[in-house]
């Protein structure tokens, strides 16, 4: 199914590219028109409805390997245009996940850097965060620490609290409160952020759903340590692979669903 594209979707300006380099993020990039958003919301209901009740959608990933329709979403030209403007004409995708907060469910994403989770070198992943519904302060929009991607790696600790979607978090004294920015977005828009940018989100205190799709992209020089992550697979998005650093995943031709983190392309459930 082809989703209707917002006519405002285009390429990043020089000022927007400079903002990403300086701040580590950019938001409110239009992708889908209202009719496309309505279709996208129907698709989310279908994707999430596949999961057995005991599986938390926030704790499984690699949907682009499991679902052909999800994989096609990640290859939307308007999204790839924005990504290309940040990391260049040659890049692959390796991740696809939902971050969902239902009304008053209490779940939170602690302050963290994405790069803390991935054995990828160099740390040059760009994440596109697609808003399926409007997101703001009330329904737990993502918050970022502006320019924190320029300050290197931060020490994380483990917190296994049941309400936290992720287990690694930063100490509060590492958070520069004055640099916090809220990524409020309309449904159908995306933000882009650097994998070293500190970010997180609080609980959804509204009566509205909050859901974002994360799509992860890297230039070809990025290499995964397969001794740490043996199921890693790259899915080529644009350009050419002059490095051949990573195993390539097969084209996704089925509609399945993940049952755990970091699954291999052959292990998904129907």
φ, ψ for residue 58, nearest 5 deg: -75, -15
Q: Express each pLDDT in 135-144 by its tens digit.
A: 999 999 999 9
Mean pLDDT lowest among 21-35, 58-72, 254-268: 254-268
pLDDT at 269 over 60: no
Structural domains present in the chain: 16-238 (2.60.120.620)
The rounded distance, in Å, linking the Cα atoms of 58 and 163 is 11
Q: What is the pLDDT of residues 131-185, one digit of tens each?
A: 999 999 999 999 999 999 999 888 899 999 999 988 999 998 899 999 999 999 9
- Helix axis angle for 77-87 and 14-23, nearest 10°, is 70
Structure tokens at 19: 């903002």
Please list, in sequence order, all residues whose beta carbon lies within 8 angstroms of the beta carbon of residue 228, skipping any fewer than 6 positions away: 119
Q: What is the mean pLDDT of residues 215-233?
A: 97
Helix (H) or strand (E) holding 47: helix 34-49
Return the structure tokens found at 210. Answer: 């909050």
pLDDT, position 263: 62
**Rounded (to 5) percent helix, strand, coil in the chain:** 25, 30, 45
Peptide bond into 142 cis (omega under 30): no
Tokens of 235: 């899915």
Could you say which DSSP state residue 25 is in?
Answer: E
Give the integer Cα–Cα distance in Å for 27 and 182. 10
Who's near 231: CB < 8 A, 6+ residues apart?
Answer: 262, 263, 264
Encode burial over 181-199: b for 16+ CB neighbours within 10 A, e otherwise: bebbbbbbbbbbbbbbbbb
Please report the pLDDT score of residue 91 as a whole number: 98
Q: pTM for the full model?
A: 0.96
Mean pLDDT, the chain, integer: 94
Res 2: pLDDT: 87
How much is the pLDDT for 261? 82
Mean per-residue pLDDT for 229-242? Answer: 96
Q: Mean of the pLDDT values across residues 109-126?
A: 96
Planar angle of CA 77, 73, 37, nearest 5 degrees = 95
| Token couple for 108 | 């939170």
- Residue 260 predicted with pLDDT over 90: no
pLDDT score at 270: 47
């Amino acid at each position: 199914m082809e989703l209707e594209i917002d006519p405002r979707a285009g390429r990043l300006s020089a000022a927007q590219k400079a903002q990403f380099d300086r701040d580590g993020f950019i938001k409110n990039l239009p992708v889908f028109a209202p009719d496309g958003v309505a279709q996208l919301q129907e698709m989310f209901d279908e994707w999430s409805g596949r999961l057995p009740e005991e599986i938390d959608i926030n704790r499984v990933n690699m949907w682009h390997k499991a679902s052909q329709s999800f994989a096609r979403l990640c290859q939307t030209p308007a999204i790839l245009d924005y990504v290309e403007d940040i990391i260049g004409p040659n890049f692959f995708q390796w991740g696809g996940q939902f971050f969902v907060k239902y009304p008053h469910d209490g779940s939170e994403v602690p302050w963290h850097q994405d790069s803390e989770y991935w054995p990828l070198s160099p740390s040059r992943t760009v994440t596109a965060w697609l808003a399926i519904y409007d997101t703001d302060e009330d329904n737990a929009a993502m918050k970022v620490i502006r320019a924190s991607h320029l300050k290197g790696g931060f020490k994380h600790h483990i917190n296994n609290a049941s309400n936290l979607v992720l287990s690694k978090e930063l100490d509060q004294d590492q958070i520069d409160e004055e640099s916090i920015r809220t990524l409020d977005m309309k449904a159908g828009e995306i933000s882009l952020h650097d994998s070293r940018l500190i970010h997180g989100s609080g609980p959804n205190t509204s009566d509205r759903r909050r859901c974002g799709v994360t799509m992860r992209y890297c230039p070809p020089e990025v290499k995964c340590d397969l001794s740490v992550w043996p199921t890693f697979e790259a899915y080529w998005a644009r350009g050419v692979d002059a490095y051949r650093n990573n195993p390539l995943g097969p084209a996704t031709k089925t509609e399945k669903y993940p049952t755990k983190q970091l699954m291999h392309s052959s292990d998904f459930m129907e």
